[in-house]
Structure 1
């Protein structure tokens, strides 16, 4: 599998001895970052001198026609992972070369395993504001598009730990702390969600 370095944004392929990694679950939006987009940053990664790349670095490096909104999501996910001492993260949009049908097929078949093997899963909800607690009836948490995705079930059940983030990348809860709300939205019994992890500490 390929993993994205959370500091340099370089993609590296691992066949054995896969390092501990975080994984991102998200709803695809306009201008997602592809494997080819990330490869275009190799020169920038070589000049970072060991420091963490920022969106400003990317903005200064790329011509305006190549600067996609999705870079913000990738950078923020990497910052989140780095803050929890992860050197690697898996993001489907840029860790899979979708121009290869064979690779795409293999990744789809391995997806559950990728999420199960991750130390933690970050769920990014681009359409949720953190102004109201997810348990507040007026919160938009329960209406997030993330819950309508076909991949949501396995990405919700496979990881050992899950943390949810609002549109500003503020942590709003974990699968454990929000299990009652998640159960209402997904109809997954609350005791099933509770058995997956007794308490998230990530």
Structure 2
């Protein structure tokens, strides 16, 4: 079965220009709300079943694909809301649900959901004035998640129903500062840019860049991320996930190039192999074809970077694998690699980096 974590990468970070090609969703069995098990099920975009989607705040112990497959998910505090969502979906007559806090333009996923559950872990039942002070209403993503779905139910930390989008309309509009017509599904293009921007004031996001990304659905803009970093412990499957992704989405790219960046010598040798690959697959690349790859490797690197920056040379994907010894402040290792010297200077392709280091902060970082 395809790894759910990787699907989050492909959908959330713009490596493909289509909206949703394949979905991996959680299946709620008859006793998922109690002590039952949850299973992962994959669907093609033409065969997506009715599902519910969870709007929630990303916490410190979220459940990952690995947690579900190795049976450790129930040991994390984040499992309680997964369990709640499965149980509530079953009570609503739905077999499938989707939990994903990293999707950049969530509007389609939320719009197409049969229901959306808004989980408020800082609000107790019965409902009190604390609901209006919930952190959920100050999240950067909240606007997309409240505007897009037709049916929304709000739940307390105990999993008790607080109300729905209709019954709480006045309260919601007052709390987040948007007109009722927007909440009811009016086209957002009918509101001025200034007005829509005012809705986003004082909102908080986990990552600084998310403040900008969360605006995409509000302003109907698509901006693919250029850089994505997969980081995690050695042997956890970062390279394998990258292989799965390239096999599945190879038709979305003009070329896919792999580089071993465990040290500078390995990286330069990878560029030399790239020159041969480019000469073979793109014989019109005269500058690259004429390179003596066994001579000046620095010249090889610069020539390939220049070739990738040509005006009509777009939609390529560069994968920098095993960047485990990055040159960063505090790293005194003389053989640490400065990846910036080896990145293309243009912004017409995509970069994927795998690393064990949490300190690599180029573009969007995703923990595996």
* Same-fold status (TM-score > 0.5): yes
Determine the C-alpha separation between the residues in 2 that align with 1:132 and 1:74.
22
Q: Where do residues 1-202 of structure 1 align in structure 2 (5 Å cutoff)?
A: 1-7=23-29, 8-15=37-44, 16-41=46-71, 62=72, 67-92=75-100, 107-109=103-105, 111-133=106-128, 139-194=129-184
Determine the C-alpha separation between the residues in 1 that align with 2:182 and 2:148.
12
With over 3 angstroms needed to count, the CA separation of the structure-2 counterparts of 1:193 and 1:108, relative to structure 1, is: closer
Determine the C-alpha separation between the residues in 1 that align with 2:179 and 2:147.
12
Determine the C-alpha separation between the residues in 2 that align with 1:13 and 1:169.
27
What TM-score do you get using the length of structure 1 for normalisation?
0.71
Determine the C-alpha separation between the residues in 2 that align with 1:79 and 1:24.
12
Give the alignment's Cα RMSD to 1 decimal. 1.9
Question: Is the contact made by 1:11 and 1:39 (CA closer than 8 Å) also made in structure 2?
Answer: no
Determine the C-alpha separation between the residues in 2 that align with 1:39 and 1:158.
31
Q: Shift of residue 76 of structure 1?
A: 1.2
Runs ≥4 in structure 1, deviation > 4 angstroms? none
Q: Shift of residue 179 of structure 1?
A: 0.7
Q: Shift of residue 70 of structure 1?
A: 1.2
What TM-score do you get using the length of structure 2 for normalisation?
0.40
Determine the C-alpha separation between the residues in 2 that align with 1:145 and 1:180.
18
Aligned length: 156
Q: Shift of residue 5 of structure 1?
A: 0.4
Determine the C-alpha separation between the residues in 2 that align with 1:162 and 1:156.
7
User: Relative CO higher for 1 or 2, CA cutoff 8 Å, sep ≥ 6?
Assistant: 1
Name the SS of the counterpart of 1:156 in structure 2: helix
Give the structure 2 partner of residue 44 of structure 1: none
Q: Shift of residue 164 of structure 1?
A: 0.2
With over 3 angstroms needed to count, the CA separation of the structure-2 counterparts of 1:31 and 1:153, relative to structure 1, is: same
Flag structure 2 segments of 5+ consecutive residues without an equivalent.
1-22, 30-36, 187-368
Q: Shift of residue 147 of structure 1?
A: 0.8
Question: Is the contact made by 1:125 and 1:164 (CA closer than 8 Å) also made in structure 2?
Answer: yes
Give the structure 2 partner of residue 96 of structure 1: none
Q: Shift of residue 189 of structure 1?
A: 0.8
Name the SS of the counterpart of 2:47 in structure 1: coil
Residues 165-200 of structure 1 deviation map (CA, whole Å, 9 limit, x = unaligned): 01100000001100111111111112332457xxxx
Determine the C-alpha separation between the residues in 1 that align with 2:121 and 2:61.
14
Residues 32-51 of structure 1 deviation map (CA, whole Å, 9 limit, x = unaligned): 1112212224xxxxxxxxxx
Question: Is the contact made by 2:125 and 2:162 (CA closer than 8 Å) also made in structure 1?
Answer: yes
Q: Shift of residue 129 of structure 1?
A: 1.3
Determine the C-alpha separation between the residues in 2 that align with 1:3 and 1:167.
23
Determine the C-alpha separation between the residues in 2 that align with 1:71 and 1:124.
13
